[in-house]
Amino acid sequence: MALHRLTTITIGVPNVAETAAYYTEFGLTPCGEADFTTVDGGEQLRIVNAPTRRLVELGVGADDPDDLHRIASRLAGLGAAHTLDDQQLTTTDPGTAVKVVITPSERITREPAPAPTYNGPGRTERVDARAQAVLRATPVQPRKLGHVVLGSTDHEASHRFFTDGLGFKVSDEAPGVAAFLRCSSDHHNVLLQPAPVRFLHHTSWEVEDVDEIGRGAHRMLEGHPERHIWGLGRHHIGSNFFWYLKDPAGNFSEYYSDLDCILDDAVWKPEAFDDMRMIYNWGPPVPASFIAPDDLAALMTGMHNT
């Protein structure tokens, strides 16, 4: 696959300073007033002023300039407007109104981390020592941006744009509800869902393991119980552990770990799900505000007035 990762996102919010403070506490590293880096992904988040919360821009990494020209040819076949030079391709998804910028970018390379040592029935791997996870004292820091979930007012058009136009691949689908699309070996990098208004449902940030999810969420909720949305749990589609929190603008942010990895398209078989397994395998009941965020009606009014 010529595409290989999400490089960066730009989120628009009406309260930049307050939202930036949240993501600093979330574990991203500030590299400006409202720009942030992750451990492995470099600069991956920018927060800008906007009348209502939304994803303004999505960056995608390609291997080389030739990839941009091939993508431009496919976009032209769809009749999708775009601009192109050897440094970047810029276009806009008609269903979400998100500007997508594709640039030649380095792939993320990481040294293998030591496997955690878990004791279990008939398996004693850690002897005469406490689990390292309970001894961790450093703040949780996301390793990279994993995926974004977008509400589209034209789900079919967005699906064509990302797959037939940009070259994303379908990992799994819940027909009429969600499409899980990837531009890397991660199970999904963009999730599209039909919605009455274009909006950002959540951003998702990879951490080391399930203990880091718990530690990160626990710290974020100290003194701020209103930030809690849903977790701890494990999704069925994608298989990842999750915990969802809410930033001051109303966007959900997810800590995740242990996501499915797809290296061989011939081996992975996309499935179509039509039951609650698509939402989660185990965890607390799904809150209504996760399915339909509380500010959805306000977003519809705000979007119509901008």
**What is the structure's pLDDT at 16?**
98
**What is the structure's pLDDT at 265?**
92
C-alpha span between 27 and 205 (Å, rounded): 10
- Does the structure show a pLDDT above 60 at 306? no
pLDDT digits (tens, 9 = 90+) for 240-269: 999 999 999 999 999 999 999 999 999 999
Q: Please tell me the CATH code under which domain 3-106+141-298 is placed.
A: 3.10.180.10
**What is the structure's pLDDT at 303?**
64
The structure's pTM equals 0.96
Q: Token pair of 70, please?
A: 């091939």
183-186 — which CB contacts under 8 Å span 24+ positions?
183/1, 183/3, 183/4, 183/5, 183/6, 183/60, 184/1, 184/3, 184/4, 184/5, 184/6, 185/261, 185/262, 185/263, 186/146, 186/147, 186/259, 186/260, 186/261, 186/262
pLDDT band at 114 (very low <50, low <70, confident <90, very high): confident
- Does the structure show a pLDDT above 90 at 110? no
Classify strands 178-182 and 89-92 as parallel, antiparallel or unpaired.
unpaired
Question: Are the C-beta atoms of residues 95 and 157 closer than 8 Å to each other?
Answer: yes
CA-nearest of 185, 212, 201, 220 to 290 is: 201
Helix axes 16-26, 210-221, angle to 10 degrees: 140
Helix (H, G, I), strand (E, B) or coil at 92: strand
C-alpha span between 274 and 213 (Å, rounded): 28
- Does the structure show a pLDDT above 80 at 168? yes
pLDDT digits (tens, 9 = 90+) for 48-68: 999 999 999 999 999 999 999
C-alpha span between 302 and 52 (Å, rounded): 6
- Does the structure show a pLDDT above 90 at 111? no
Mean pLDDT to the nearest integer, 278-289? 94
- Triad 235, 241, 247: Cα angle to 5°: 95
CA-nearest of 134, 160, 159, 187 to 78 is: 160
Q: What is the DSSP letter of 38?
A: E
Whether a cis peptide bond, with omega within 30° of 0, leads into 232 is yes
- Measured from the Cβ of residue 3, the count of other Cβ atoms closer than 10 Å reads 21
Averaged confidence pLDDT in the chain: 95
- Does the structure show a pLDDT above 60 at 305? no
Question: Are the C-beta atoms of residues 269 and 283 closer than 8 Å to each other?
Answer: no
- How many residues in total does the chain contain? 306
Question: Are the C-beta atoms of residues 204 and 241 closer than 8 Å to each other?
Answer: no
pLDDT band at 220 (very low <50, low <70, confident <90, very high): very high
**What is the structure's pLDDT at 176?**
87
Handedness of CA 99, 32, 3, 268 (dihedral sign): negative
Going from N- to C-terminal start, the domains of the chain cover 3-106+141-298
pLDDT band at 1 (very low <50, low <70, confident <90, very high): confident
State the DSSP string of 150-200: EEESSHHHHHHIIIIII--EEEEEETTTEEEEESSSBS-SEEEEE-SS-EE
